[in-house]
Amino acid sequence: MDDYQLLIERAVTRANTVALVGGLDSGKTTTALRMIRAALEHGRTTAFLDVDLGQKSVGPPATVGMKLVRSAADLEPAVLAVADSIYFVGATSPQGHLLPVVAGAASLLARAREAGAEFVVVDTSGLVSGVYGQILKYHKVDLLRPELVIGLKRGGELDPILGILNRFFATDVAALPVHPEVVPTSVEQRAANREEAMRRYFAEPLQRYRVKPTVFMPALPALFELEELDRLLVGLSDGAGSTIGMGYLEHSADEGVLRLISPVAEAPKALRLGSVRLDEAFRAKRVDLRNLFGTD
Ligand X SMILES: Nc1ncnc2c1ncn2[C@@H]1O[C@H](COP(=O)(O)OP(=O)(O)OP(=O)(O)O)[C@@H](O)[C@H]1O
Q: Which chain residues interact with ligand X by CB under 6 A?
A: 22, 24-30, 52, 55, 126, 179, 181-183, 185
**Distance of closest approach, residue 57 Cβ to Mg ion, in angstroms:** 7
Cα dist. 14→10, 26, 193, 222 in Å?
A: 6, 24, 34, 54
34 vs 231, beta carbon nearer Mg ion: 34
Burial 133-163 (b: 16+ CB within 10 A, else e): bbebbbbbbeebebebbbbbbbeebbebbbe
8 vs 260, beta carbon nearer ligand X: 8
Instruction: For residue 118, give the nearest of 10, 242, 14 by alpha carbon.
Output: 14
Q: Which option in ligand X, Mg ion, none does residue 176 bind, with CB closer than 5 to 8 A by kind?
A: none
Asked if 243 and 235 count as a contact pair (C-beta separation under 8 A), the reply is yes
* H helix runs in 156-249, sequence order: 159-168, 187-201
121 vs 260, beta carbon nearer ligand X: 121
17 vs 29, beta carbon nearer ligand X: 29
**Distance of closest approach, residue 73 Cβ to ligand X, in angstroms:** 20
The one segment of 3-11, 50-58, 150-158, 163-171 that binds Mg ion by CB under 5 A: 50-58
Q: Which option in ligand X, Mg ion, none does residue 181 bind, with CB closer than 5 to 8 A by kind?
A: ligand X
Using CB under 5 A, which of 8, 20, 21, 29 touches Mg ion? Answer: 29
Q: Which option in Mg ion, ligand X, none does residue 126 bind, with CB closer than 5 to 8 A by kind?
A: ligand X
34 vs 139, beta carbon nearer ligand X: 34
The one segment of 12-20, 47-55, 174-182, 285-293 that binds Mg ion by CB under 5 A: 47-55
Q: Which option in ligand X, Mg ion, none does residue 237 bind, with CB closer than 5 to 8 A by kind?
A: none
Instruction: For residue 212, give the nearest of 295, 268, 165 by alpha carbon.
Output: 268
Residue 52: what are its φ and ψ, rounded to 5°? -75, 135
Instruction: For residue 177, give the nearest of 291, 23, 33 by alpha carbon.
Output: 23
29 vs 243, beta carbon nearer Mg ion: 29
26 contacts Mg ion (rule: CB under 5 A): no
The one segment of 27-35, 140-148, 160-168, 183-191 that binds Mg ion by CB under 5 A: 27-35
**Distance of closest approach, residue 146 Cβ to ligand X, in angstroms:** 17
28 vs 97, beta carbon nearer ligand X: 28
- Long-range contacts from 263-269, C-beta under 8 angstroms, 24+ separation: 263/201, 263/202, 263/203, 263/205, 263/206, 263/207, 264/207, 264/236, 265/207, 266/238, 267/209, 268/209, 268/215, 268/236, 268/237, 268/238, 268/239, 268/244, 269/215, 269/237, 269/238, 269/239, 269/240
The one segment of 4-12, 21-29, 140-148, 220-228 that binds Mg ion by CB under 5 A: 21-29
Residue with the shortest CB distance to Mg ion: 29
Name the burial class of residue 56, with classes exposed (0-12), middle (13-18) and buried (19+) by CB atoms within 10 angstroms of its CB. buried
Q: Which option in ligand X, Mg ion, none does residue 84 bind, with CB closer than 5 to 8 A by kind?
A: none
Binding residues for Mg ion, per CB under 5 A?
28-29, 55
